[in-house]
Structure 1
């Protein structure tokens, strides 16, 4: 049987969603020690208290190296190449001679005898060209007539300190209020799993209730509160006298999302009672 964490409606084993409010139900599995039905993310079996996390052992992957047998490889003997005869013989066929240029030679025509040779003028004897005169430029505008630079914009005024303090988010703190003694217990904000119980040699409690009245009905490992984002969930981890939420039993392996004002009773008879609060 799976109890809905939203409306506490008992559902049959194997159900995917609640029959009353259609809330998705947590998945379940079987305890490898006693075979009882437990929640998939439960740390301990609610029937025998077996540690469910100790059964996961990674399978060791084995690899077999394949060794190739030693097979002799026959290498053929090297054969000496023939001597280069062309290096010893003269080039009788003219194969290695440079090819003749396909372009015909440039013919130089001789000047006629009756034409006198013109003297060659070098570049140094050519007179340099005179530079063209540069027209006078317009007079520059006096500084007094230049456009004045724009005035800098006035920066916006800083907001008052009260406006900045209003935008800061306040951190939510969860507490347990003990009804019988009017005491408040603040839940640790650095832990994702908070153990409730009494001192023991297996899991030390984060919330020790051994100093409260009627603590004899509380098991040493009684219940856990799990923090997931902004949500808080409580589950019974195999206590002797059980855990009750709003006077309804919380089955081992199931968990309930806590809301402000929920009544948590450790054991029967409503002798050890806490109220869940958010501040």
Structure 2
């Protein structure tokens, strides 16, 4: 099936125009390595990760190893010769040559009680506090930053509704009418953040590339997230 990049409608493999919105569909072909369905101008297979080289006819082929640049390995420098250690001298011979001074006589004890010195102050060590990373979405048009909740493993992005209330409400931003009420989810797994479209009407775009519904994209600092068409409601993913 070919997913329409405009409305996410699933079309037959032989379709050239979307059956729902009449948008031209991208040309598809099969990966020469694993046989998965990919776009003809793809550089990498999304299934097996094989590097593909587009041909003049529009098909793709696996790039040969001879075309990849092989880094030059510098010649190894021979190490310096080891220095022979000096011979060890027996400890008993050294002790016989050293004169051990006799200990000084002990002072006489007085009948008056000894004065105890004041106790030394005890230094209190401060515990080191680990700094946690803070992820946020920076709205491009208003430069307003929205911090992602650190206590949630699934963060809902959208507008107020009776089905799934959003954790990040974008209804106050300009042109938010292109954003669905239940638009996208950001999932937190350890130190990694993933975004997926959950069935929005106008789609989700990562770095100007449409994200198919149900597919997850691992967010990296600087990724551009557009909620809806025409790049009207756009955020930059940041980690502080």
Q: Does 1:207 align with 2:168?
A: yes
- Larger RCO: Structure 1 or Structure 2 (Cα < 8 Å, ≥ 6 residues apart)? 1
CA RMSD of aligned residues (A): 3.1
**Alignment correspondent of 1:216:** 177
Say how many residue pairs are matched: 136
Question: Is residue 246–residue 264 contact of structure 1 (8 Å, CA) maintained in 2?
Answer: yes
Q: Which residues of 2 match residues 41-190 of structure 1 at below 5 A?
A: 165=128, 168-190=129-151
For structure 2, the residue ranges without an aligned partner over 5 or more in a row are 4-30, 39-45, 53-105, 107-119
1:2 Cα shift? 10
Alignment partner of 2:37 out of 12, 23, 26: 12
In the alignment, which of 209, 226, 232 is matched to residue 193 of structure 2? 232
Q: Deviations over 1:3-55 (max 9, x none)?
A: 9xxxxxx9628x7433349xxxxxxxxxxxxxxxxxxxxxxxxxxxxxxxxxx
Does 1:255 pair with 2:216?
yes
Larger C-alpha radius of gyration, 1 or 2? 1
Q: Partners in 1 of 2:125 and 2:238 — Cα distance?
A: 34
The whole-number CA distance in structure 2 between the counterparts of 1:20 and 1:221 is 36
Deviations 1:121-168 (A, max 9, x none): xxxxxxxxxxxxxxxxxxxxxxx9xxxxxxxxxx9x96975xx54xx3
Residues 66-104 of structure 1 show CA distances to partners (whole Å, capped at 9, x for unaligned) of: xxxxxxxxxxxxxxxxxxxxxxxxxxxxxxxxxxxxxxx
Match of 1:192 among 133, 153, 173: 153
Name stretches of at least 5 consecutive residues in structure 1 with no aligned partner: 4-9, 22-143, 145-154
TM-score normalised to structure 1 length: 0.44
